[in-house]
Structure 1
Amino acid sequence: MHAIRVASAALLGMTALTLTAPVAVAKGDEERDRDRNITSFGFNVSPTTIAAGGRVTLSVNGCASETKVTSGVFDTVTIHKGQSTAAAAVDWDAKPGAVYEVRFQCGHESGHTDLTIATGRPDNPTHLPVHRGVKAGVGGTAGGFDLGEIGLGAALIAGSVGAAYYWSRRRAGEHGG
């Protein structure tokens, strides 16, 4: 009888755990979509690594209105409706090795990409970017969890195991066991 009680409690606990997993996976998908910058229009900065004082080409396609391009490393640029590119001059005081976000705003939708500032100046052809490694995130599906979600999951599991134990003890008492 003891093995049946333990097995039913374990089965109930695993069922509760399984039913809470789809919510965590769905939240992870939404966060990954934000990180991937999925938009209805395309955008690009070329080159993606440039020395302070250099010029970048800002490209957009599929935007039905004008596009505002902003960054902390150059003045706001407007790509007018019907055009697909514009140029921007990178500030001379941009920090070598820094990574700046470039944001493209098309109507109510926006996307962003990174612009890396290389060491050296544009008149020096030997400037090389400072390598910052791979943006890998926190890994797996654990990135979207917070303490509240973990606590709620633990409470659900503990409650289901407790209920299984209670009902198995009650049923054993009814049969004189």
Structure 2
Amino acid sequence: MPATPRSPRSHRPLPRVLAVAAAALVISAAAPATLAHAGPSGNVSPTNVAPGGRVSLNVTGCGTKTGKASSRAFGDVWLTPGNAEATNLFGAATTFRNVSAGSHPVTFECGGPGGERVTVALNITPGAARGGLGGSVDSMSPGQIAIGGAFVASALGAGAWFLRRRTGHAG
């Protein structure tokens, strides 16, 4: 069978198809990059705390190895990377004891001045942070307290006996 010669028109659609494919490739390559970098996301835990309470600070999506969290409730806190890729930056803060109750903004800033920012709310509840003995005596029975007192008294007695005996041999 003799080969049929191709006309020059049959080669024209190929460059058009290649141009459309190249444009689709560029668009599909650019789309995930814009979706992946949607900006930082900040988190304060717990979101409700009493004056003098401690909070954990976390920001994701910075793309930098440095960051800062700032609030009138606790001042400035420098954040450190949680992993080698620096996808999370962490820190902790203790709220001021005299901070007023209510909602206080916490601003996370990625990198240095002028970096990307995100702001979340921290709620300061009225009242002081719970203090006291921390449960060290609250759940003890009178018998346990008596045994503990006997141990303390015997330790003091043994210490006094040792010191008295030591001074008797020195002379």
Taking structure 1 as the reference length, the TM-score comes to 0.45
The structure having more radius of gyration, on CA atoms, is: 2
Taking structure 2 as the reference length, the TM-score comes to 0.46
